[in-house]
């Protein structure tokens, strides 16, 4: 098992693109190379693990669903080989298993196909920037400084009824009665609101309560309504099978919103 390695600011990050579709992985690799990264590609999970054993990579872009060894197993084994590897999941499919696996393997992002080069480049840059900031904070901390008290760890995945919400990578997975699965990438605000509603299923929460608990705003009910309504509308468009007739997030007229955990 390799020891974590500090990435110097002037050093090109090495990125491994893992996807069984040749045109996708080659396109991503070429784009990242043009952006100044040192990018390589692997056509399978087995090949990716061999490359991780042979060389040092800072980032791995990983397709979660591939023939042979799937992305979930690749993530687990890659984390054993390279504990400090930044893993970004790239998938056209979603499942509760992959959402939980991404959390357990500390995936830093979850990108839904088709993802643009701009979206991928932003995610890679963001992950590397967070790594650099964490290393900088670690260097600034003196050994004699008392460690801050540890915060109680929140649940990583909320599961209520047909909805699984991955809080770390902000992805909601909704299972349909006909076997279909809907997946959505949420904003931080949408994630906070959905999490608050899911923690209290079948309970009516006023807009003021949602603003206080999810967003930290102390507002009147009227002020909160102006802020919460547009976010609920966007959230419904992402997770409701039929946003015009919502069944997961219900409006209780004059009172607020209720998450239907039995749908």
pLDDT computed for residue 99 by the predictor:
67
Residue 129 and residue 43 in one domain = yes
Arithmetic mean of pLDDT, 172-188: 77
* 152 belongs to a structural domain: no
Tell how strand 249-252 and strand 256-259 pair up: antiparallel
pLDDT computed for residue 2 by the predictor:
44
* 145 belongs to a structural domain: no
Please give the tally of structural domains in the chain: 2
- Greater model confidence, 131 or 207: 207
- Greater model confidence, 104 or 128: 128
Please, what is the average pLDDT of the chain? 82
Structure tokens at 243: 């946003």
pLDDT computed for residue 121 by the predictor:
87
Span 132-151, pLDDT tens digits: 887 777 766 545 444 443 43
Residue 121 and residue 213 in one domain = no
* 94 belongs to a structural domain: yes
Q: Let me know: does 83 contact 1? Beta carbons within 8 Å.
A: yes
Residue 103 and residue 28 in one domain = yes
Q: In sequence order, what are the beta bridge partners of 249?
A: 259
pLDDT computed for residue 52 by the predictor:
94
């Amino acid at each position: 098992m390799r020891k974590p390695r500090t990435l110097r600011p002037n050093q090109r990050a090495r990125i491994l693109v893992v996807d069984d579709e040749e045109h996708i992985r080659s396109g991503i690799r070429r784009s990242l190379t043009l952006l100044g990264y040192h990018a390589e590609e692997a056509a399978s999970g087995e090949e990716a693990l061999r490359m991780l054993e042979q060389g040092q990579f800072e980032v791995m872009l990983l397709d979660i669903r591939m023939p042979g060894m799937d992305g979930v197993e690749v993530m687990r084994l890659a984390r054993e080989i390279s504990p400090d590897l930044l893993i970004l999941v790239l998938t056209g499919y979603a499942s509760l298993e992959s959402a939980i696996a991404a959390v357990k393997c500390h995936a830093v992002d979850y990108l839904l196909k088709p993802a643009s080069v701009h979206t991928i480049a932003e995610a890679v840059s963001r992950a590397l920037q967070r790594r650099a900031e964490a290393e900088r904070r670690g260097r600034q901390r003196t050994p004699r400084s008392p460690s801050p008290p540890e915060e109680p760890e929140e649940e990583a995945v909320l599961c209520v009824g047909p909805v699984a919400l991955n809080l770390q990578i902000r992805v909601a997975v909704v299972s349909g009665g006909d076997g279909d699965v809907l997946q959505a990438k949420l904003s931080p605000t949408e994630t906070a609101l959905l999490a608050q509603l899911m923690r209290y299923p079948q309970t009516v929460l006023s807009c003021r309560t949602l603003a206080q608990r999810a967003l930290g705003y102390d507002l009147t009910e009227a002020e909160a309504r102006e802020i919460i309504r547009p976010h609920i509308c966007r959230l419904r468009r992402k997770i409701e099978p039929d946003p015009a007739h919502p069944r997961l997030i219900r409006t209780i007229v004059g009172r607020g919103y209720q998450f239907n955990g039995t749908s």
